[in-house]
């Protein structure tokens, strides 16, 4: 058995320069702790602290860039079901859902004083189309769906879509999950190469944004964002100026350090803790709380956890091998050990949200035939033998004598996945797979998956939230780039023409159309036998807030927005927290 190792990848001159730099230029100001709102950066560190290009696949979005560094046109609120207008005031589709008109905030301005206009939206979308897929998933989305975009007037844009898509606004501009299409200032970007521009120069005020906060310091362990009292939202009366004078994103680095920082009031938000650690922190500091006051404590994240493969590379191009791996995984053990029984196994890639119940029930016949929850080491062995694999000592090998080695790539900072990795690899080893895991920082992890260098990894299934189209779409072949080119979606590089056709029909079908149930069944009938990725567990994330310095964080009883402080929707939290009164 090979040892568990830790390795990092290189991402070229930009990453090397950043990793060898201890700190970037700083314009930080002294601010009292009670005026600072400190979020934990859920990644162990910022690998490229001098890169604030929101569309480079290696960019770390959740060290403030997407939460307070940019504003979205809209924010979908999971708790209310509302598309909250922000940089836009509203939108309207035509009857065919193949054209949409967006009205923009007439008072919005960039941080350098330049008006925010329709020209910025038109520039951003055309730039993304031109540079897809190199600029990641939002560039693929733009190229796939935007036929044309025009500025009707300074505060109105009209998009013509390539085909009807009633979900387009949510997917592109609504923070459906985690991020959004960030609109760029044309007057800054139009003279730059968007594939190399870092969007970083503090002396010039870069990144320029419409946000109420300005970046003033960026290092590998901390970013600091200073409130702009001339923010357009406050001066126009759209929204009161947020109370925090500074918003910081700090690295904890480990669960133990995270717990200590929470206990000492060094963090106002806390990334995932194990149940025992969380309960100990709460016992030591009564100001710390999670979504629910009692077990399971955690908010159910919309992104189930799963194991994925580069399905273009042997031996992981074999569906039978992928099924044998699934049969070797005891999901109850993963829930018990890695999640301390705060979650449940995932039958498929969608969250256990009410809208999905009928879809899963209607596909019961498929899940009976293709039991994704089955744990049976003997059955796993029989599947391997039927596919022509044999044992060499303790481990499986192919017909040419090559060992079946599984090197799982794990993203540092993803606390639940770093907890899962040793459990998953141990289960696989017991079933005869020479399994290992390697920890990679977020930049190296993204590069390995995007270029195809990773053979297998643990990841998050962030797809549909009210119907399964968004999840199925992650496996459409538009995302399956050749090796060495940027893959998007689930990044498995799996493709199937018949499956593509079903997904494309779903895209133009309304969520409440009964045909959606039929299409889901048809798509699963292709997906399940192929098993391009293996569902593992639902994601009940035990994150928490600390009310020592700040009030009005979201909870199940004060659910004005969901609690994902690493999402772009965190701006809604920043805008609503209130300074704790003595």
How far is residue 104 from each of residues 69, 85, 147, measured CA to CA in Å? 19, 9, 20
Closest by Cα among 35, 118, 19 to 550: 35
Structural domain boundaries in the chain: 13-71+189-297+541-579, 311-540
436-445 tens-digit pLDDT: 999 998 888 9
pLDDT value of residue 449: 93
Report the C-alpha gap between 199 and 207 in whole angstroms: 5
How far is residue 450 from each of residues 133, 135, 404, 444, 492, measured CA to CA in Å? 10, 11, 23, 10, 9
Report the C-alpha gap between 565 and 572 in whole angstroms: 9
Report the C-alpha gap between 350 and 212 in whole angstroms: 34
**Average pLDDT of the residues of the chain:** 93
For residue 9, pLDDT beyond 70? no
Written as one string, the DSSP assignment of 373-419 is T---HHHHHHHHHHTT-EEETTEEE-TTS-B-EEEEEEETT-HHHHH
Closest by Cα among 404, 409, 411, 410 to 428: 404
201-242 tens-digit pLDDT: 999 999 999 999 999 999 999 999 999 999 999 999 999 999
Burial of 273 (0-12, 13-18, 19+ CB in 10 A): buried
Q: Which residues make Cβ contacts (< 8 Å) with residue 336, sequence separation at least 6?
A: none
For residue 280, pLDDT beyond 80? yes
CATH architecture of the domain with residue range 311-540:
Roll (3.10)
Mean pLDDT of 458-467: 95
Instruction: Specify whether the backbone of 413 is left (phi greater than 0), alpha (psi in -120 to 50) or beta.
Output: left
pTM for the model: 0.90
- Least confident window among 7-21, 228-242, 413-427, 502-516: 7-21
Report the C-alpha gap between 275 and 253 in whole angstroms: 18
Written as one string, the DSSP assignment of 510-521 is -TTSTHHHHHHH
pLDDT value of residue 442: 84
Mean pLDDT of 250-255: 92
Burial of 283 (0-12, 13-18, 19+ CB in 10 A): exposed
Confidence of residue 20 (pLDDT cuts 50, 70, 90): very low
Report the C-alpha gap between 166 and 53 in whole angstroms: 29
Confidence of residue 29 (pLDDT cuts 50, 70, 90): low
- Least confident window among 36-45, 80-89, 240-249, 421-430: 36-45
Written as one string, the DSSP assignment of 278-332 is HHHHHHH-TTEE-SSSSTT-SEEEEEEEEEEE-TTSTTTT-HHHHHHHHHT--HH
56-99 tens-digit pLDDT: 988 999 999 999 999 999 999 999 999 999 999 999 999 999 99
* Cβ atoms of residues 329 and 428 within 8 Å: yes
Which residue has 């494309």 as its token pair?
A: 504
Mean pLDDT of 12-26: 37
pLDDT value of residue 11: 34
Report the C-alpha gap between 387 and 220 in whole angstroms: 47
| % of the chain with per-residue pLDDT over 90 | 91
Confidence of residue 22 (pLDDT cuts 50, 70, 90): very low
* Cβ atoms of residues 348 and 535 within 8 Å: yes
- CA 80 centroid distance within chain: 21
For residue 44, pLDDT beyond 80? no
Domain 13-71+189-297+541-579, classified CATH 3.40.190.10, yes or no: yes
Backbone angles phi, psi at 479, to 5 degrees: -90, -10
486-508 tens-digit pLDDT: 999 999 999 999 999 999 999 99
Mean pLDDT of 238-252: 97
Handedness of CA 178, 250, 289, 343 (dihedral sign): positive
Confidence of residue 362 (pLDDT cuts 50, 70, 90): very high
């Amino acid at each position: 058995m090979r040892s568990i190792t830790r390795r990092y990848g290189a991402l070229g001159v930009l990453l090397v320069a950043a990793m060898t730099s201890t700190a970037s230029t700083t314009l930080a100001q002294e601010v009292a702790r009670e005026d600072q709102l400190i979020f934990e950066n859920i990644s162990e560190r910022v690998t490229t602290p001098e890169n604030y290009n929101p569309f480079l696949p290696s960019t770390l979005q959740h060290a403030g860039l997407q939460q307070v560094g940019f504003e979205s046109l809209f924010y979908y609120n999971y708790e209310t079901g509302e598309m909250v207008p922000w940089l836009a005031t509203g939108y309207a589709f035509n009857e065919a859902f193949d054209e949409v008109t967006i009205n923009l905030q007439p008072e919005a301005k960039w941080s350098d004083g330049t008006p925010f206009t329709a020209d910025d939206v038109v520039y951003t979308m055309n730039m993304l189309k031109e540079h897809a897929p190199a600029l990641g998933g939002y560039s693929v989305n733009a190229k796939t769906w935007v036929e044309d975009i025009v500025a009707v007037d300074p505060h109105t844009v009209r998009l013509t879509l390539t085909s009807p898509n009633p979900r387009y606004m949510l997917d592109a501009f609504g923070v459906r999950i985690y991020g959004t299409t960030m609109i760029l200032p044309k007057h800054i970007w139009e003279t730059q190469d968007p594939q190399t521009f870092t969007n970083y120069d503090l002396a010039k005020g870069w990144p320029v944004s419409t946000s109420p906060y300005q970046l003033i310091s960026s290092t590998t362990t901390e970013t600091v964002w200073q409130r702009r009292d001339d923010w357009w939202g406050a001066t126009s009366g759209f929204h009161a100026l947020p109370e925090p004078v500074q918003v910081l994103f700090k690295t904890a680095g480990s669960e133990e350090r995270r717990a200590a920082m929470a206990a000492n009031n060094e963090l106002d938000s806390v990334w995932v803790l194990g149940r025992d650690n969380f309960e100990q922190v709460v016992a030591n500091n009564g100001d710390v709380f999670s979504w629910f006051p009692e077990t399971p404590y955690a908010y159910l994240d919309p992104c189930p956890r799963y194991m994925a493969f580069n399905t273009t590379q042997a031996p992981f191009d074999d569906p039978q091998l992928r099924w044998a791996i699934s049969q070797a995984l005891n999901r109850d053990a993963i829930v018990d050990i890695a999640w301390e029984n705060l979650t449940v196994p995932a039958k498929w890639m969608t969250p256990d949200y009410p809208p999905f119940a009928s879809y899963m029930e209607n596909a019961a016949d498929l899940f009976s035939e293709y039991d994704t929850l089955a744990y049976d080491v003997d059955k796993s062995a029989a599947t391997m033998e039927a596919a022509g694999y044999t044992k060499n000592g303790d481990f499986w090998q192919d017909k040419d004598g090559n060992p079946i080695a599984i090197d799982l790539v794990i993203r540092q900072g993803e606390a639940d996945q770093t907890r899962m990795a040793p459990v998953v690899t141990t289960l696989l080893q017991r079933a005869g797979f020479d399994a290992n895991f390697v920890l990679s920082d977020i930049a190296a992890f993204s590069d390995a998956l995007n270029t195809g260098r990773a053979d297998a990894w643990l990841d998050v299934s962030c797809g549909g939230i009210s119907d399964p189209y968004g999840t199925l779409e992650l496996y459409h072949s538009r995302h399956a780039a050749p090796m060495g080119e940027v893959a998007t979606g689930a990044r498995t590089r799996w493709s199937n023409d018949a499956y593509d056709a079903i997904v494309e029909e779903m895209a133009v079908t309304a969520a409440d159309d009964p045909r959606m149930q039929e299409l889901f069944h048809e798509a699963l009938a292709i997906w399940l036998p192929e098993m391009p990725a293996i569902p593992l567990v639902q994601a009940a994330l035990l994150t928490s807030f600390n009310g020592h310095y700040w009030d009005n964080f979201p909870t199940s009883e004060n659910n004005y927005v969901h609690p994902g402080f690493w999402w772009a929707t965190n701006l809604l939290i920043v805008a609503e927290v209130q300074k704790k009164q003595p």
